[in-house]
Amino acid sequence: MVSKLVQTCIASVVLKTTANLVIQLVNQKGETHLPSIDTFRLFQFALFGLLSAPVNSFWQQLLERSFPTRKTPQTNDADARASKDTGKALPGPQSHADIEWVNVFTKLALDQLIGLFVMNTIFLSCMNIGNWYDPPLVIHDIQQKVFSITKAGWKIWPMVALTNFIFVPTDMRVIVASCVGFGWNMFLSLF
């Protein structure tokens, strides 16, 4: 059976590559010749998906372990025994009263200040793969673009992250973000 992380990486690669393919085809709309596909650019987006998915998965797990969204439910002895016997957690009430809002907003701040910066740095590193022979050039490009991309990301990612933190299980957050990221990656294709 394929692990969740491998599934997440595959989904991330497919979504990021497809987003770039779509924007390449849209940019050639109305041309009379067969579309030409920049396969190196597709490779860059596939690499970004492959590298960013495990980093983001680890990041989401770290945030949730450090700042859990929901209060730990109090169980009585009978509930604990039933949970132990079945090996499954007993369902508990999922209400806004269970949410640790300070933790949610702490995660949001960390995610938008650190996580988004790291993801954008990975993106720009992947887009500069052809220049890896010249590290100062890569670093210069990252320094020139990372803050503007991060600032642009603040228009959509805080709401996505907030929704993810409140409603989506931790192991599915990267997939949800990748789905939303389909449009975002089309935007990034313009860089």
pTM across the whole model: 0.82
Predicted local distance difference test score (pLDDT) of residue 187: 77
Reply yes or no on whether the pLDDT at 33 is more than 90.
no
Give yes or no for residue 101 having a pLDDT over 50: yes
- Asked if pLDDT for residue 74 goes beyond 90, the answer is no
At a CB cut-off of 8 Å and minimum separation 6, what does 46 contact? 13, 16, 17
